[in-house]
C-alpha cells in the first residue's frame, strides 16, 4: 500500500500562454554581452567524464582575457548560449542557476563525489525501495530527488528566470516516442501548456541524463489545449510542405510540434523523456537549427540577417570515447548486451561527426552566397547604372568552429587512456583533475581558437598560469 504513494513529480500547468514571459532567449538581459560576438558552447554526454571536461573548458574561458569593444573582458562573459545533454548538463545547469559560484562549489558538489554509488545507496533505503514499487515512479525520479537535494539545492527555473542573465542554457532530453530532441525551454513547454518555472534543475538534468537501461525515462504531464496556446504561423505553412517536398526538415519540425498539441486524434496525455544523447550525442542539433532556420525560437540566422552578429563562435566539448574492445580478438558471436550497446553507441558517434561537418558546411555556404551576390552586383554595376541590381547582400560573418575532443591529443598513450574512460557518474579525483586540465589544453591548442585570440587580441592561459 505504501508503494502506491510512489509517483512522479508532476510538472505545473500553464495558466495562460504568454509568449512574452518565461525562460526565453529574448527575455535574458545581455548585460555587457554583445551580439556582435556570438558565442555558443555545446556540452556532450559522457557522465562525470563529460561534466569534468566541460567544467575545465568553462575554467579556461573564465581565465581567457580578450579585448572587445574597447574593453578587456573574460571570454566567458561573452557566452550567449549553452546547449547540453546528459553528463554535460550538470555543469550547464549549475552555471545557469548559480553563475560564477560554479567555480567555488561544483567540484565538491558533483565532480569529486561518488554520485553513482550514492544513487544506488538511496535506491536501497527503505524509503527508496517503497517509492520504486510505484508504477509511475522510476529510478530517474529517485535520481532527480537526489540531484535536487545534494547538487542543485532544490533550485528551479523560476530562479534562473529571476537572474535574467545570459547565457541561455538549454538542457536537452529525448522524447522517447518521437525520438526527437526535447529542450528545456519555455517555448517547448508551451506546447504542453506547462510552466517551466516550476520545474527543478535537478529534474531537468535527470531527464537529460536518463541513460537507457541504467536509468528510467521521466514522465511529464501534457496539458495541451488548456492555456490558449497558438502555434507559430510557420507551422501551418510547413505542414503543407509534405506533398511539395520543398522543405522536408521544416515539415518534420512542424509535425513534431503538432504531436504535442493534438487534442482529438490520439492525444499524448504524458510525455516520457530519456537521455538527450539518444537524439544527439553532442548537443549540437539545437544550435544548428538556430543557425540555419528563422523558425527557431532563438534564431541566430535572424540575428545574422539583421546584421547583429559579426563573429560566430561555436565551441563543442565532445567527451566521446572509443574504448578498446576484445570483440575483434575472438571468433565467438557477440552477445546480446554487446550487440545492443554497439548498435546504440557506434551510429551516434558517426552522427556526431556528421553534425559537426554540417555546421561547417552551413556557414561556408552562407558566406559563399554573400560573395556570389556581391560579385553579381559589382559585375552588373560595372556595365552601367541601368544594369545595377537592387538586391540585398547577405551579411558576412566570421565563423570559428572549435572542438575540444580526446581525438586531438597528440600522445598516443595519453589519447587512448582518455578514450577508454568509462561513462559513469563517479571517477577518481585525480582523473577528474586530468580531465579538467586536458580540456583546457585541447582548447588552447585548437587552431580556430588561436585564430580567434589573434582577432580579439586575447591571450591563452593554460593550467592556471594566467596570461
Is 463 a domain residue?
no
What residues are paired with 315 via a beta bridge?
A: 41, 402
> According to the model, what pLDDT value does residue 218 have?
95
Confirm whether pTM is higher than 0.85. Answer: yes
pLDDT confidence tier of residue 335, bands split at 50, 70 and 90: low
pLDDT confidence tier of residue 83, bands split at 50, 70 and 90: very high
Res 350 pLDDT > 50: no
> According to the model, what pLDDT value does residue 352 have?
53
CATH number for the domain spanning 55: value is 3.40.1090
Res 227 pLDDT > 70: yes
> According to the model, what pLDDT value does residue 348 have?
47
* Residues of the domain holding 197: 25-329+347-375+418-456
In whole angstroms, what is the distance from residue 366 CA to residue 30 CA? 26
Residue with cell 563573429: 311
Is 100 a domain residue?
yes
Is 286 a domain residue?
yes
Instruction: Assess whether 141 carries a catalytic annotation.
Output: no
Instruction: Assess whether 86 carries a catalytic annotation.
Output: yes
Is 434 a domain residue?
yes
Q: Which of 18, 104, 121, 236 is catalytic?
A: 236
Interval 136-190: pLDDT, tens: 888 999 999 999 999 999 999 999 999 999 999 999 999 999 989 999 999 999 9
Q: Which of 34, 54, 86, 297 is catalytic?
A: 86
If one counts the domains in the chain, the total is 1
Q: Which of 77-81, 238-242, 251-255, 283-287 comes out lowest in average pLDDT?
A: 238-242
Is 401 a domain residue?
no
Say what percent of the chain tops pLDDT 70: 87
Interval 393-448: pLDDT, tens: 777 888 999 999 999 999 999 999 999 999 899 999 999 999 999 999 999 999 99
More confident residue, 55 or 337: 55
Mean pLDDT of the chain: 86
Res 16 pLDDT > 70: yes
> According to the model, what pLDDT value does residue 347 have?
46
Res 344 pLDDT > 80: no
pLDDT confidence tier of residue 61, bands split at 50, 70 and 90: very high
Q: Examine residue 140 and say whether the peptide bond preceding it is cis (omega within 30 degrees of 0).
A: no
Mean pLDDT of 280-302: 88
Is 464 a domain residue?
no
pLDDT confidence tier of residue 245, bands split at 50, 70 and 90: low
Is 79 a domain residue?
yes
- The Cβ of residue 462 has, within 10 Å, a number of other Cβ atoms equal to 16
What residues are paired with 5 via a beta bridge?
A: none
pLDDT confidence tier of residue 244, bands split at 50, 70 and 90: low
Is 17 a domain residue?
no
> According to the model, what pLDDT value does residue 386 have?
75
Amino acid at each position: 500500500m505504501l508503494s502506491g504513494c510512489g509517483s512522479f513529480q508532476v510538472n505545473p500547468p500553464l495558466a495562460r500562454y504568454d509568449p512574452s514571459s518565461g525562460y526565453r532567449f529574448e527575455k535574458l538581459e545581455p548585460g555587457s554581452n554583445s551580439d556582435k560576438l556570438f558565442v555558443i558552447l555545446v556540452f556532450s554526454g559522457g557522465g562525470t567524464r563529460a561534466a569534468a571536461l566541460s567544467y575545465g573548458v568553462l575554467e579556461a574561458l573564465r581565465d581567457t582575457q580578450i579585448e572587445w569593444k574597447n574593453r578587456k573582458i573574460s571570454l566567458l562573459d561573452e557566452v550567449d548560449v549553452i546547449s547540453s545533454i546528459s553528463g554535460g548538463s550538470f555543469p550547464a545547469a549549475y552555471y545557469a542557476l548559480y553563475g560564477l559560484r560554479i567555480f567555488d562549489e561544483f567540484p565538491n558538489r558533483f565532480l569529486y563525489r561518488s554520485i553513482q554509488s550514492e544513487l544506488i545507496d538511496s535506491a536501497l533505503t527503505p524509503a527508496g525501495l517503497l517509492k520504486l514499487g510505484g508504477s509511475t515512479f522510476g529510478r530517474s525520479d529517485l535520481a532527480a530527488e537526489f540531484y535536487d537535494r545534494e547538487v542543485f539545492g532544490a533550485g528551479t527555473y523560476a530562479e534562473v528566470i529571476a537572474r535574467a542573465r545570459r547565457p541561455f542554457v538549454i538542457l536537452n532530453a529525448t522524447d522517447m516516442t518521437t525520438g526527437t530532441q526535447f529542450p528545456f525551454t519555455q517555448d517547448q513547454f508551451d506546447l504542453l501548456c506547462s510552466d517551466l518555472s516550476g520545474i527543478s534543475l535537478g529534474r531537468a538534468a535527470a531527464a537529460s541524463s536518463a541513460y537507457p537501461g541504467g536509468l528510467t525515462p521521466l514522465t511529464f504531464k501534457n496539458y495541451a489545449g488548456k492555456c490558449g496556446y497558438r502555434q507559430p504561423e510557420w507551422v501551418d505553412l510547413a505542414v503543407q510542405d509534405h506533398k511539395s517536398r520543398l522543405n522536408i526538415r521544416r515539415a518534420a519540425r512542424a509535425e513534431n510540434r503538432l504531436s504535442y498539441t493534438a487534442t482529438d486524434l490520439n492525444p499524448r496525455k504524458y510525455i516520457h523523456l530519456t537521455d538527450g544523447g539518444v537524439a544527439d550525442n553532442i548537443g549540437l542539433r539545437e544550435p544548428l537549427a538556430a543557425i540555419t532556420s528563422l523558425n527557431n525560437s532563438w534564431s541566430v540566422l535572424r540575428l545574422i540577417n539583421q546584421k547583429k552578429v559579426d563573429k560566430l563562435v561555436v565551441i563543442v566539448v565532445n567527451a566521446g570515447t572509443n574504448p578498446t574492445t576484445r570483440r575483434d580478438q575472438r571468433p565467438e558471436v557477440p552477445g546480446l548486451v554487446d550487440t545492443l550497446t554497439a548498435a546504440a553507441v557506434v551510429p551516434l558517434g558517426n552522427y556526431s561527426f556528421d553534425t559537426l561537418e554540417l555546421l561547417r558546411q552551413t556557414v561556408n555556404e552562407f558566406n559563399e552566397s554573400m560573395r556570389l551576390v556581391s560579385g553579381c552586383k559589382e559585375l552588373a554595376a560595372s556595365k552601367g547604372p541601368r544594369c545595377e541590381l537592387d538586391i540585398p547582400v547577405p551579411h558576412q560573418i566570421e565563423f570559428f568552429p572549435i572542438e575540444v575532443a580526446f581525438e586531438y591529443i597528440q600522445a598516443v598513450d595519453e589519447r587512448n587512456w582518455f578514450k577508454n574512460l568509462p561513462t559513469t557518474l563517479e571517477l577518481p579525483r585525480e582523473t577528474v583533475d586530468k580531465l579538467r586540465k586536458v580540456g583546457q589544453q585541447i582548447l588552447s591548442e585548437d587552431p580556430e581558437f588561436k585564430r580567434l585570440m589573434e582577432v580579439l587580441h586575447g591571450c591563452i592561459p593554460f593550467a592556471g598560469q594566467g596570461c
